């Protein structure tokens, strides 16, 4: 579609892609990666509910460590694929994460991405009530807890090098987040501690990269 619009001289028409995590992290990644390598001009949204939910809640490579799904009834044995870092490694101009629980941040990132040319990708956390085992009124709470515990940090990567964190502090333990969800029910304390350590490690890396980006901006000013 991008190529067709360009051929018609409609270069200012935005092309939006809406896809789930299965179609982004897994079965569609080949196409996304090759388009990003060419820096095709489109804005890509991954609506991430961390599994193949349309077919009964099987695991995708976006499914977090230890989460139980239809295809991992004893819990997923591998960690969630770090899609933002993978896409940033392609050298695209804009990569971001966002959450349904932080709408102002989401709107700001969409507006920012609209003003950039090239491949832009925003991954939005969208809890699945059935797949995660959430009460009908707990979707936004789960999305907010994911951000507050650092399981789904909100940040931007510009030109593969400049990191900015939208939320700079973790305000709750991961156990609060896990307790909301049936997919983690009965998780042993040792596994909870492992998840906490994984989240803390990833968070520390983001904080350091954001700090380095600020320092570089000051030196360049």
- Segment 81-86 long-range contacts (CB within 8 Å, at least 24 positions apart): 81/25, 83/24, 83/25, 83/46, 83/123, 84/121, 84/123, 84/155, 84/157, 85/157
CATH value at residue 107: 3.40.50.970
What is the pLDDT tens value at each position of the chain, 221 positions in all? Answer: 999 999 999 999 999 999 999 999 999 999 999 999 999 999 999 999 999 999 999 999 999 999 999 999 999 999 999 999 999 999 999 999 999 999 999 999 999 999 999 999 999 999 999 999 999 999 999 999 999 999 999 999 999 999 999 999 999 999 999 999 999 999 999 999 999 999 999 999 999 999 999 999 888 87
Q: How many domains does the chain have?
A: 1
Range of the domain at 151: 2-220
């Amino acid at each position: 579609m991008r190529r067709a619009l360009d051929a018609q001289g409609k270069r200012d028409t935005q092309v939006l892609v809406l896809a789930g995590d299965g179609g982004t992290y897994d079965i569609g990644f080949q196409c996304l990666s090759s388009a990003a390598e060419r820096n095709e001009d489109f804005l890509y949204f991954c609506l991430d509910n961390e599994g193949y939910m349309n077919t009964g809640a099987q695991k995708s490579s976006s499914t977090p460590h230890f989460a139980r799904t239809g295809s991992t009834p004893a819990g997923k044995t591998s960690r969630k694929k770090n899609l933002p870092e993978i896409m940033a490694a392609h050298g695209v101009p804009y990569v971001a994460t966002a959450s349904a629980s932080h709408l102002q941040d989401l709107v700001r990132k969409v507006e920012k991405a609209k003003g950039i040319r090239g491949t832009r990708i925003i991954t939005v956390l969208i809890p699945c009530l059935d797949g995660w085992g959430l009460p009908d009124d707990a979707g936004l709470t789960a999305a907010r807890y994911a951000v507050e515990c650092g399981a789904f940090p909100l940040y931007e990567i510009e030109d593969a090098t400049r990191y900015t964190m939208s939320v700079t502090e973790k305000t709750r333990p991961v156990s609060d987040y896990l307790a909301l969800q049936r997919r983690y029910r009965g998780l042993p304390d040792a596994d909870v501690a492992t998840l906490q350590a994984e989240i803390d490690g990833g968070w520390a890396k983001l904080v350091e990269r954001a700090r380095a980006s600020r320092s570089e901006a000051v030196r360049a000013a």
